[in-house]
């Protein structure tokens, strides 16, 4: 359980950075792109891209494999799926709660207006 | 993707909505994922004050969450930490933020629940999410469904 919790924190921490999100979005289009291909359209230098890839790999969001001198990068879906499960659980919880909150507040508003009359 | 955001337009003034969010009487009427009862609601809506809410779901299971009020600006803004007692549902702490904006018909409520509560998260909220990420999410959903299919 503790492990799972730490994994989730790592996933969300990795997703917070816009450059890392851009890298993941790029991989979604071109899974198996090489590191140098990934660095090309980025305004940042290769070492910075490598650092971002380290964070993504630590979070389990990507895997890297080396063939000769080329390092290719692939998405791995499991941590992302867990992160989205987390969000979906709370969506179910709060969506119904907020509907009832709205109905309750609207009833209070009507009471208040009738009192003022 | 690192946070959940829900928006509701409510035909009631912000002060009424704010009190529904922060008083035990209010919370007892709406808190929880189904129509099961709220068993206990304690609030102390000031910065550093705590809340605790226990509810029973229709399946008979009982759950309790608690936390600390981090920002209390009646009737505009509320931020609180969130933690499940026991932590079975979701160990660790997360952040709930609620903004209330007066609109012609009453109040627009923006609700956010996020996993991390630090400067990075805030920055990420401000930047928002782009369409590429929606596509990415679909991609991951598709591949995880495939995964389930393979296991079946």
- Report all structural domains of chain B as residue ranges with CATH numbers, in order of start: 3-117 (3.30.530.20)
A-chain CB neighbours of B140 within 8 Å are 75, 77, 80-81, 84
When mean pLDDT is compared across A22-36, B35-49, B118-132, the lowest value belongs to B118-132
Search chain B and give the residue with CA nearest A31.
B139
Distance CA B24, CA B44 (A): 10
Give domain status of residue A65, yes or no. Answer: yes
Max mean pLDDT among A8-17, A79-88, B18-27 falls in B18-27
Search chain B and give the residue with CA nearest A95.
B6
Give domain status of residue A26, yes or no. Answer: yes
pLDDT, residue A78, reads: 87
Confidence grade of residue B121 (pLDDT, cut at 50, 70, 90): very low
- Whether the per-residue pLDDT at B120 is higher than 70: the answer is no
> Per the omega criterion (within 30 degrees of 0), is the bond before B106 cis?
no
CB-CB contact of B81 with B95 (8 Å):
yes
pLDDT, residue B70, reads: 95
C-alpha distance from B71 to closest chain A C-alpha (Å): 20
Looking at chain B from residue 33 to 52, which residues have their Cβ under 8 Å from any Cβ of chain A? Answer: 33-34
A-chain CB neighbours of B113 within 8 Å are 90, 94
Confidence grade of residue A73 (pLDDT, cut at 50, 70, 90): very high
Quick: pLDDT tens for B73-102.
Answer: 999 999 999 998 876 667 778 899 999 999
Give domain status of residue A21, yes or no. Answer: yes
Taking the complete model, does pTM exceed 0.95, yes or no? no
B140 contacts chain A (CB < 8 A): yes
Quick: pLDDT tens for A15-50.
Answer: 888 889 889 988 988 889 999 888 887 667 888 999
Q: How far is CA B21 from CA A44, B13, B17, in A?
A: 45, 13, 6
Quick: pLDDT tens for A86-117.
Answer: 888 889 899 999 999 999 999 999 999 999 88
Beta-carbon pairs below 8 A across chains A and B: 140
Apex CA B6: angle with CA B2 and CA B8, to 5°?
A: 165
C-alpha distance from A14 to closest chain B C-alpha (Å): 10
Whether the ipTM is more than 0.90: the answer is no
Search chain B and give the residue with CA nearest A15.
B2
- Answer yes or no: do B11 and A109 touch at CB < 8 A: yes
Give domain status of residue A9, yes or no. Answer: yes
- Answer yes or no: do B144 and A78 touch at CB < 8 A: yes
- Whether the per-residue pLDDT at A3 is higher than 70: the answer is no
Give domain status of residue A28, yes or no. Answer: yes
Search chain A and give the residue with CA nearest B133.
A25
Give domain status of residue A112, yes or no. Answer: no
- Whether the per-residue pLDDT at B149 is higher than 60: the answer is no
Q: Which domain holds residue A36?
A: 2-76
Which CATH number belongs to the domain containing residue A21 in this structure? 1.10.10.10
CB-CB contact of B34 with B58 (8 Å):
yes
Looking at chain A from residue 59 to 98, which residues have their Cβ under 8 Å from any Cβ of chain B? Answer: 75, 77-78, 80-81, 83-84, 86-87, 89-98
Search chain B and give the residue with CA nearest A16.
B124
B-chain CB neighbours of A89 within 8 Å are 89-90
pLDDT, residue B137, reads: 52
Give domain status of residue A111, yes or no. Answer: no
Cα torsion A13, B142, B150, A53: sign: negative
Give domain status of residue A110, yes or no. Answer: no
Please tell me the total count of domains within chain A: 1
């Amino acid at each position: 359980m503790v492990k799972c919790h730490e994994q989730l924190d790592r996933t969300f921490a990795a997703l917070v950075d816009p450059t890392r999100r851009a890298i993941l979005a790029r991989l979604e289009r071109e899974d198996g792109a090489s590191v140098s291909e990934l660095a090309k359209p980025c305004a940042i230098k290769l070492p910075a891209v490598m650092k971002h890839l380290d964070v993504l790999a630590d979070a389990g969001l990507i895997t890297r494999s080396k063939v000769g001198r080329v390092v290719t990068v692939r998405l791995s879906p499991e941590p992302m799926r867990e992160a989205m499960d987390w969000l979906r659980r709370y969506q179910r919880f709060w969506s119904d709660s907020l509907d009832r909150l709205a109905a309750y507040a609207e009833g209070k508003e009507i009471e208040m207006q009738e009192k003022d009359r | 993707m690192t946070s959940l955001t829900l928006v509701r337009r409510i035909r009631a003034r912000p002060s009424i909505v704010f009190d529904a969010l922060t008083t035990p009487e209010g919370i007892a009427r709406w808190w929880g994922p189904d129509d099961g009862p709220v068993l206990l609601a304690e609030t102390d809506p000031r910065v550093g004050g705590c809340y605790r809410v226990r509810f029973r779901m229709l399946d008979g299971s009982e759950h309790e969450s608690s936390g600390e009020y981090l920002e209390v600006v009646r009737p505009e803004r509320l931020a609180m930490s969130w933690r499940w007692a026991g932590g079975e549902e979701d160990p660790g702490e997360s952040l709930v933020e609620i903004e209330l904006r007066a609109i012609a018909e009453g109040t627009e409520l923006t609700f956010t629940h996020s996993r991390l509560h630090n400067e990075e998260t805030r920055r990420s909220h401000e930047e928002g999410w782009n369409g590429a990420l929606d596509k990415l999410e679909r991609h991951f959903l598709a591949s995880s469904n495939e995964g389930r299919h393979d296991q079946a």
